Amino acid sequence: MKDHPHSIPFIKDNETLTINQVYDGSILQLYQNEIRLPNGQKANRELIHHLPAVGILAETKNKQIVLVKQYRPAIARAIYEIPAGIIDQVGNELEDPLLAAQRELNEETGYASSDWEFNSKVYISPGYIDEAIYLFFAKAIEEAKEKLDQDDNEEVSHQLFTAQQIKALIDNGEIMDLKTLYALTIWLNSLEG
């Protein structure tokens, strides 16, 4: 299969014996790789390469958090999440993660901020997928002066929540997305200490 312009193949280290791309999609590629285990045995691994993404924990001056709600076909339901999205390709390079975060916050919520902080780079499930999510905190969000349109293939609504409402959503099992649980837990802990 041809390489995608934005395809970043898995790193071939001493433990990776073969790399075989079996699917080449627009945002992900599937590989069947043969690896050597620490005990010397060989094993096959199905691995997914996915474009990196950003997630944004966005807080108002009144300490409310904006969450988006959108339908997720993989689990056949609409769920609450922090605003997030794939880092776009610009020419042959990936978009700067901060610029991607600013764009995604505007596209999905109509909010903007001039106070941004990088929190962490996390992997959603490194046992089989290399998708990295760059988590940013946006403080003192307000309505953007120039609002960007949502992507054509998205239908996203948004809502503001207090810390008490966020805790209730978590306690009731309504926050099912791992990046969102992670970001909200960090935020809630920061309010307590």
* Inside any domain, residue 6: no
Q: Does residue 28 sit in the same domain as residue 62?
A: no
pLDDT the model gives residue 6: 46
Q: Does residue 113 sit in the same domain as residue 186?
A: yes
Distance CA 9, CA 145 (A): 39
Q: Does residue 81 sit in the same domain as residue 98?
A: yes
Q: Does residue 41 sit in the same domain as residue 124?
A: no
- The two structure tokens encoding residue 20: 């075989």
pLDDT digits (tens, 9 = 90+) for 100-159: 999 999 999 999 999 999 999 999 999 899 999 999 999 999 998 887 776 666 688 999
Q: Do residues 52 and 134 lie in contact, with contact meaning Cβ atoms separated by under 8 Å?
A: yes
**Of 86, 103, 92, 111, which is closest to residue 179 (Cα–Cα)?**
86
Distance CA 138, CA 118 (A): 9
- The two structure tokens encoding residue 191: 């309010």
Q: Does residue 62 sit in the same domain as residue 131?
A: yes
* Inside any domain, residue 84: yes
Q: Does residue 38 sit in the same domain as residue 76?
A: no
CATH code where residue 160 lies: 3.90.79.10
pLDDT the model gives residue 2: 38
pLDDT digits (tens, 9 = 90+) for 9-44: 556 677 889 989 999 998 889 999 999 999 999 999
Distance CA 184, CA 178 (A): 10
Residues in the chain: 193
Q: What three-state secondary structure class fits 164?
A: helix
Q: Does residue 148 sit in the same domain as residue 186?
A: yes
* Inside any domain, residue 5: no
Q: Does residue 150 sit in the same domain as residue 124?
A: yes
Q: Do residues 5 and 90 lie in contact, with contact meaning Cβ atoms separated by under 8 Å?
A: no
Domains of the chain: total? 2
* Inside any domain, residue 10: no
pLDDT the model gives residue 8: 53
If residue 187 lies in a helix (H) or strand (E), which one and from where to where?
helix 178-192
pLDDT the model gives residue 4: 42
If you average pLDDT over residues 180-193, what whole number do you get?
93
Among the candidates 50, 75, 93, a domain finishes at 50
DSSP 59: B
Tell me the residue range of the domain where 21 lies.
Answer: 16-50
pLDDT the model gives residue 15: 86
Q: What three-state secondary structure class fits 118?
A: strand
Place of tokens 């999205």: 85
Work out the pLDDT band at 83, boundaries 50, 70, 90.
very high
Place of tokens 């999609």: 25
pLDDT digits (tens, 9 = 90+) for 86-97: 999 888 888 999
